[in-house]
């Protein structure tokens, strides 16, 4: 959280968290309207919030519920059973978290495909993202 990448790229600013702005971005995503020009080089608010939820909610929850289901780990931290309400509750939360992570990956891959596979893959590998100017890339 102290890294420059987090502050610069993932931390949403105050005006990005307004309901009007979030509603506008949800509509743009639903209509598959992707950012153009220099705006395409930065994460939008929905991407920022999704990545933060995956990193700071889903992944830690997946690990904690997985450890809670392990009888061997219960000897080290028996309080985890109380936190999640027992093994069955931890199993349910673990399943829902796993489903959410799979859905995140499926939607993520679909959005990469829909917004331009070649340019996105090139930017992931080389760091170079071509910006469209005058209808050409």
Kindly state the DSSP code that residue 62 receives in the 8-state scheme.
H
CB atoms within 10 A of CB 94: 21
Residues 27, 46 contacting (CB under 8 angstroms): no
For residue 92 the two structure tokens come to 């349910």
Q: Which residues pair with 136 in a beta bridge?
A: 133
Q: 4-18: per-residue pLDDT in tens? A: 777 777 778 777 888
State how far the Cα of 130 lies from the Cα of 99, in Å rounded to an integer: 34
* pLDDT mean over 86-113: 95
Q: Give the pLDDT score at 137.
A: 47
The HSE-up count of residue 11 (CA atoms within 13 Å, CB side) is: 10
Q: 75-99: per-residue pLDDT in tens? A: 999 999 999 999 999 999 999 999 9
pTM over 0.85? The answer is: no
Residues 97, 65 contacting (CB under 8 angstroms): yes
């Amino acid at each position: 959280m102290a890294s420059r990448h987090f502050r610069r790229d993932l931390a949403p600013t105050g005006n990005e968290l307004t309901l009007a702005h979030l509603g506008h971005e949800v509509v743009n995503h639903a209509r598959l309207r992707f950012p153009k020009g220099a705006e395409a080089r930065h994460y939008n608010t929905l991407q920022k919030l999704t990545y933060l939820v995956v990193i700071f909610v889903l992944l830690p929850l997946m690990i904690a519920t997985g450890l809670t289901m392990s009888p061997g780990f219960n000897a080290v931290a028996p309080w985890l059973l109380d936190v999640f309400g027992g093994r069955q509750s931890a199993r349910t939360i673990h399943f829902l978290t796993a489903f959410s992570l799979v859905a995140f990956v499926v939607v993520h891959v679909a959005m990469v495909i829909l917004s331009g596979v070649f340019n996105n893959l090139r930017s992931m590998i080389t760091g170079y993202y071509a910006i469209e100017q005058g209808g050409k890339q």
